[in-house]
Amino acid sequence: MKNFERMTDEALALLYVGGNNRAFDELLSRTQTKLFTYIMFVVRDHDLADDIFQETFVKVITKLHEGKYTDSGKFQFWLTRIAHNVIMDWYRQQKAERIVEPTEDNDLSNLRGASVLDSFRETEMVNEQVLLDVKKLMNQLPPPQREVVYMRFYQQLSFKDIAELTGVSINTSLGRMRYALMNLRKMARENRMELALMA
């Protein structure tokens, strides 16, 4: 049994790439507080920071397995850079979704209470349909993937809690979520479903 406490982050990362999942668990426990604090400082929203933190580690796992990390002595910097890119991608997506193009008859005085209520109900109905579609697609996922999606999105558990409850490493939980999301997106495309909730 290796003594992980004496190993550098870089050595742990390379050991994980070599197949040692316990090395990843040690790496995660070492880096999670500092990384989450950085993300929280930038986004200032706990739920969003949690999502970005988890997305960052999904990307870290992917990049490690793709051989996109070499021991440069700067693992924490590399990790923070990935988190930064995830944050920037999120902000770009938010900006793109909020762009409204003005029209010639752009007259806000036309808004009346009934039209606003109708618009709200329409949004509500679309969101209900999206959630029903997601549930249908979830039922087609392999059981381990379906389980992690349910625990994360419906029970709102952290990946650490999911790993403990299912008796697997955090890495395995993150991997299952990654594959579940890839499968859901693929099925949505094949079925021509739009899975984005309306605001």
Angstrom distance (rounded) from CA 37 to CA 53: 10
Whether residue 81 is found in the same domain as residue 15: yes
CATH of the domain at 24: 1.10.1740.10
Question: Structure tokens of 101?
Answer: 């193009």
Whether residue 54 is found in the same domain as residue 87: yes
Whether residue 5 is found in the same domain as residue 87: yes
Whether residue 90 is found in the same domain as residue 124: no
| pLDDT class of 74 with cuts at 50, 70, 90 | confident
Question: Structure tokens of 48?
Answer: 């969003």
Q: What's the domain range around 191?
A: 119-199
3-state secondary structure of 80: helix
Whether residue 87 is found in the same domain as residue 52: yes
Evaluate whether residue 149 is within a structural domain: yes
29 to 22, 26, 51, 181: CA distances (angstroms): 11, 5, 17, 25
Q: How many domains does one find in the chain? A: 2
Last residue of a domain, one of 66, 97, 128: 97
For the segment 44-70, what is each residue's pLDDT rounded down to a tens digit?
889 999 999 999 999 998 898 888 887
Whether residue 138 is found in the same domain as residue 190: yes
Evaluate whether residue 106 is within a structural domain: no
Last residue of a domain, one of 97, 131, 158: 97
The torsion defined by the Cα of 164, 166, 171 and 174, in degrees rounded to 10, comes to: -110
For the segment 131-163, what is each residue's pLDDT rounded down to a tens digit?
777 778 888 888 888 888 878 877 788 888 888
CB 72 within 8 A of CB 10: yes
The torsion defined by the Cα of 29, 41, 153 and 77, in degrees rounded to 10, comes to: -50
Evaluate whether residue 114 is within a structural domain: no
Q: What is the pLDDT of residue 9?
A: 92
